[in-house]
Amino acid sequence: MKDILFDDVFEEAKNAFINGNYKIAEPILQQMILQSTRNPEVFQMLATIMYDKGQFNKAIKIFKRALEIDPTYTDASVGLSIILNDLGRYDEGKKIFHDAKQILDKKKTSNDPYIEEKLATKHEELADLYFQYQKYNEALDQFLKALSLTTRKAELTLRIADCFVKLDDTEKAIRELKKLVREYPHFNQARMKLGNIYYNNNNLAEATEQWENILLRDPHHVEARKCLTMASAVGITTISP
């Protein structure tokens, strides 16, 4: 009976948390902690609420408690990493997530697609954060780790190319995108990005080739047509009506 009541209360708190009703979720979560729960998700949700309120020290303490209960709980390790990064403690934040992943790797006896996809998502979240703070080498490292764990190869390769561009290594960006276009010839987003990189590096012939290829597959592609109009203004190509 006690477990049923706990489950009901937990679901109430979780639903309120997911819907952003932190004023409802917080007192329920606090009460559950007072009742000595060892569910790391309870601590993770409360820590996130503390973070949202700007109470960083409390959030850090509660996230750490979640990780004491379950060192492999990636939601808590990522949340803690985000706070530490916000406070400028980048190396400490990176180590938290790295340590959690190492522990999880040791526990795994076989490749679990669900776990790997979840880890990939967390690596991607960290990568997005590093990218936001213009720490492009760190972002690249996290995107590459995510790529090794996920089936979302195309989407992550685009982000990897973005990192290479920011690091002034357009050669590698072009190489990644060309490989992506070979594997997915109809992936117009990759062709657009490749064309833009060529254009920004004054390789206008290669740029227009990518945009023209898009229009062959999708004659109504607005962005590709706009780019070709821009290129035709400098006499590189002509656009069929």
Single-letter amino acid, residue 83: I
Judge whether 239 lies within some domain: yes
Judge whether 202 lies within some domain: yes
The pLDDT score that the predictor gives to residue 111 is: 57
Range of the domain at 234: 185-241
**How many Cβ atoms from other residues are within 10 Å of residue 231's Cβ?**
21
Judge whether 203 lies within some domain: yes
**Total of domains in the chain:** 1
Judge whether 235 lies within some domain: yes
- Looking at per-residue pLDDT, the higher value among 194 and 81 belongs to 194
Judge whether 238 lies within some domain: yes
Q: What is the pLDDT of residues 11-52, one digit of tens each?
A: 899 989 988 899 999 999 999 998 888 899 999 999 999 999
Instruction: Indicate if the pLDDT at residue 65 is higher than 90.
Output: yes
For residue 230, give both structure tokens.
């821009």
Judge whether 201 lies within some domain: yes
Determine if the pTM surpasses 0.85: no
Judge whether 33 lies within some domain: no
Q: Whole-angstrom Cα distance, residue 41 to residue 37?
A: 10
Judge whether 37 lies within some domain: no
Give the list of residues 6+ apart from residue 212 with CB closer than 8 angstroms, or none.
224, 228, 237
